[in-house]
Chain A
Amino acid sequence: AQSVTQLDSHVSVSEGTPVLLRCNYSSSYSPSLFWYVQHPNKGLQLLLKYTSAATLVKGINGFEAEFKKSETSFHLTKPSAHMSDAAEYFCVVSPWGGAAGNKLTFGGGTRVLVKP
């Protein structure tokens, strides 16, 4: 079984300040972990993925996430928020290696508001 908890449903930041989106997971398997972004009325776009290589993962648009097995966390950060970062972000877990039909389990989402 696997589950994902995104600790904040809403985050508000000022443009140019750091962004932190928190995610904790549980998984019976060695997991793959993902962050997806969804802009208003759009589909989901992959930001980055953890696949058991480096624990610090760099993604698109300046985002990065760190896998911490001891804390079962996969927090997403960005040093300086941009207005275009306003969106909803989903932390996602999947069993590694194609087990269980590659099924993804989504967190509830964190909506990010960026103030000018």
Chain B
Amino acid sequence: NAGVTQTPKFRVLKTGQSMTLLCAQDMNHEYMYWYRQDPGMGLRLIHYSVGEGTTAKGEVPDGYNVSRLKKQNFLLGLESAAPSQTSVYFCASSDGTSGSYNEQFFGPGTRLTVL
């Protein structure tokens, strides 16, 4: 049981390049999330998904797209990277059932630098 895994762990991009971050979970969770972490700001929600085939915008969605084609995977895409997207990106998942405690399980993070 690996929990939540993220690929890659590190990446350096040039401005304007594109990339996709992959998140996978093996806990059969319905809900999945993408966050970015910047110093002094905690984690901010980019996009989330409440089930296979569904996605929704979070707090800071601009410049990112997501897809949830399979229940266990949640992809985060940057079509044209900008230096402001330099950050650490975390994926998380949760059970999402009614009455749940909303505990989210986090991946190890992806450190992205955009030059």
Contacts of A103 in B (CB 8 A): 33, 45, 48, 58
Chain A interface size, under 10 / 10 to 19 / 20 to 34 / 35 or more = 20 to 34
- Asked whether, in the complex, the Cβ of B42 is within 8 Å of the Cβ of A102, the reply is no
Q: Which residues of B contact A106 (CB under 8 A)?
A: 42-44
Beta-carbon contact of B100 and A43 below 8 Å: no
Binds B, one of A13-21, A61-69, A92-100: A92-100
Task: Let me know if B104 and A104 touch, CB within 8 A.
Answer: yes
Q: Does B74 contact A (CB under 8 A)?
A: no
Q: Is the CB of B94 within 8 A of A43?
A: no
Contact partner, A98, options B40, B56, B97, B107, Cβ 8 Å: B97
- The answer on a CB contact under 8 Å between B106 and A43 is yes
**Does any Cβ of A come within 8 Å of B84's Cβ?**
no
Determine the main DSSP class of B at the interface with A: loop
Q: What is the CB-to-nearest-CB distance from A50 to chain B, in angstroms, rounded to a whole number?
A: 9
**Cβ-defined contact, A98 with B42, below 8 A:** no
Could you say which residues of chain A place their CB within 8 Å of the CB of B100?
97-98, 102
A96 to chain B, nearest CB (A): 7
Q: How far, in whole Å, are A49 and B50 apart by their CA atoms in the complex? A: 22
Answer whether A107 and B102 are a contact pair too, CB < 8 Å, given A43-B107, A102-B94.
no
- A45 vs B100: C-alpha distance in the bound complex, in angstroms? 18
Q: Is the CB–CB distance between A101 and B40 below 8 Å?
A: no
- Contact assessment for A108 and B106 in the assembled complex, using a CB-CB cutoff below 8 Å: no
The minimal Cβ–Cβ distance linking A6 to chain B, given in whole angstroms, is 8
The distance in angstroms between the C-alpha atoms of A34 and B104, with both chains bound, is: 10
- 5 CB contacts below 8 A, A to B, read A43-B107, A97-B98, A106-B44, A108-B40, A108-B41
Q: Which 5 interchain pairs have the tightest Cβ spacing?
A: A106-B42, A94-B102, A44-B106, A102-B102, A43-B108
Q: A101-B48, A104-B45, A104-B104 are in contact. List 18 more A-B contacts (CB 8 A).
A: A32-B101, A34-B103, A43-B108, A49-B101, A49-B103, A51-B101, A90-B42, A97-B99, A97-B100, A98-B99, A98-B100, A101-B31, A102-B94, A102-B100, A103-B48, A104-B33, A108-B42, A109-B42
Q: Give B contacts to A, CB under 8 Å.
A: 31, 33, 40-45, 48, 50, 56, 58, 90, 94, 96-104, 106-109
